[in-house]
């Protein structure tokens, strides 16, 4: 079970009759390690959940959205990235004793732990190579200068003989 009690939802008031639903709107603290190498939801930051819990025969289907803040580093210029995004969440939780895959989520003591649903919905949909803006120019390969600050940045020293010759032709 999640250590974050905000993420535990009691379903004792949700009849097992298929199709019965319960709405859940709740702000929770983001659990730790909700992210990938270059981008993540900061631990403890607010996540807005808008979920529907629906009795679905063998278990309860949790469906809806999670709006979260994201923090990361641009893979091109290494500058900070910060924005919020809304993720689709959809996860089936099986009633205890149901025949299901080993890595399935189960309902324990009439409670659902939303953490795996959040991980599934958010972490798997984060960009692997986040960028600060689509037109980010990245860093100079020679000296590491941020090319966004001066797109014309160049190094004279990299000019080789061939280019010098062409330049000579231009001048002629
Ligand atoms: Zn960038
Ligand atoms: Zn440079």
Structure tokens of 52? Answer: 């529907």
Indicate whether 164 pLDDT > 60.
no
Distance 127 CA to ligand 1 centre (A): 14
**Each residue of 11-38: pLDDT tens digit?**
999 999 999 999 999 999 999 999 999 9
pLDDT tens sequence across 47-58: 999 999 999 989
C-alpha span between 107 and 59 (Å, rounded): 8
Residue from 79, 72, 163 nearest 126 by CA? 72
The ligand placed nearest to the CA atom of residue 137 is 1
In this prediction, residue 122 carries a pLDDT of 97
Q: What is the pLDDT of residue 100?
A: 73
The DSSP string of 31-66 is: PTTEE-SSEEEPTT-EEEEEEEEEE-SSEEEEEEEE
Q: Residue 163 Cα, ligand 2 centroid: separation in angstroms? A: 18
Q: Which band of pLDDT confidence, cut at 50, 70 and 90, is reported for residue 97?
A: confident
Q: List pLDDT tens digits, range 85-94.
A: 999 999 999 9
- Residue 172: the pLDDT is 42
Gap from CA of 80 to ligand 2 centroid (Å) = 20
Mean pLDDT of all residues in the chain?
A: 90
User: pLDDT tier at 78 (50, 70, 90 boundaries)?
Assistant: very high
* φ, ψ of residue 156 in degrees (nearest 5): -60, -40
Answer whether residue 171 shows pLDDT above 70: no
Report the C-alpha gap between 114 and 34 in whole angstroms. Answer: 13
Continuous H helices in the chain: 115-122, 161-171
**Residues 78, 144: contact at Cβ < 8 Å?**
no
Q: How far is the CA of 127 from the centre of ligand 2 (A)?
A: 28
Residue 115 backbone dihedrals phi, psi, to 5 degrees: -55, -50
């Amino acid at each position: 079970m999640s250590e974050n009690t905000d993420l535990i939802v009691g379903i004792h008031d949700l009849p097992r009759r298929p199709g019965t639903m319960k709405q859940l709107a709740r702000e929770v603290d983001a659990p730790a390690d909700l992210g990938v190498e270059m981008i993540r939801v900061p631990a403890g930051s607010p996540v807005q959940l808008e979920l529907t819990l629906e009795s679905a025969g063998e278990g309860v289907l949790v469906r809806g959205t999670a709006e979260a803040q994201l923090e990361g580093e641009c893979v091109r210029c290494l500058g900070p990235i910060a924005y919020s995004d809304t993720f689709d969440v959809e996860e089936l939780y099986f009633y205890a004793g149901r025949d299901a895959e080993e890595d399935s989520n189960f309902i324990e003591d009439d409670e659902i732990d939303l953490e795996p649903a959040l991980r599934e919905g958010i972490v798997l949909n984060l960009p692997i190579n986040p960028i600060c803006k689509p037109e980010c120019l990245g860093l100079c390969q020679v000296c590491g200068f941020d090319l966004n600050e001066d797109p014309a940045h160049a190094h004279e020293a990299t000019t080789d003989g061939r280019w010098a010759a062409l330049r000579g032709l231009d001048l002629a």
